Amino acid sequence: MAISTALWSFALVAGLLTLTPGLDNALILRTSALGHRRRAWGVVLGIQGGTLLWGVFTSLGVTALLTASHVAYMTLRWVGAAYLVWMGARMLWNTFRGRPAVDTTDTGTLTDKDTFRGGWRQGALTNLLNPKMGAFYVAVLPQFIPPDASHLGMGLLLSTVHVLIGLVWSAVLVACARVLREWLRKPRAQRVLDRITGTVIAAFGVRLALGD
């Protein structure tokens, strides 16, 4: 397989994965819709940074070892599931307590601060604590690396393609979310959005824990 063919083929697969509704899209939409522009881009870059790291780990064979080790995989899966359930449950709990829209910050507490660092950490943790990302890269990435190409170099190139697609789609999501800002200034609308997002996040955590 030629390098150009591998790039285009992987771009198609990565594009379909990026467009699929999921946790990353929900986080980006929710954060940007609340008017937290700096935090939203922190979430975006945190997610994409995690994606790039998964590509590096796969190219170096680390994720292959992770998926081969049942104990390591299960540990990461349960840690990731617990993090997602905690984040979603706290978001839901605060809406029923009448608190304003909240986010997980870099200190691990809940606040309404629009910080890039807090968003970056939230996005990176959400991505890196998802072992299914590692499993996806182990299963898919090697198939697009030509036999005569450097595994690390080609893996980085393919991962970069995935990141670029993710950045473009994230920009679309952020732009679309701006339309909702006027409506989301109302406390009731913020509670509805947080309940929907919190439910989605917690459901992903439960699904991850159950291994579905």
Q: Each residue's pLDDT tens digit in the chain (212 positions)?
A: 578 888 888 898 888 888 877 778 888 888 888 778 889 999 999 999 999 999 888 888 766 666 666 676 677 677 767 877 887 788 788 777 765 444 444 433 334 467 899 899 989 988 888 777 877 787 778 778 887 888 888 889 999 999 999 999 999 999 888 777 777 666 777 677 778 777 877 787 787 678 65
Nearest Cα neighbor of 189 from 17, 35, 18, 69 is 35
- The packing angle between helices 131-140 and 70-96, to 10°, is 130
Task: Report strand pairing: 103-104 vs 110-111.
Answer: antiparallel
In the chain, domain spans: 3-16+24-210
pLDDT at 178: 77
Q: Is 70 left (phi over 0), alpha (psi -120 to 50) or beta?
A: alpha
**Number of other CB atoms surrounding residue 167 within 10 Å:** 15
pLDDT at 88: 77
Give the span between the Cα atoms of 26 and 44, in whole angstroms. Answer: 11
pTM of the model as a whole: 0.71
pLDDT at 101: 47
- Element (DSSP H or E) covering residue 93: helix 70-96
Chain centroid to CA 156: how far?
Answer: 18
Question: What tokens were used for 9?
Answer: 């083929």
* Residue type present at position 138: V
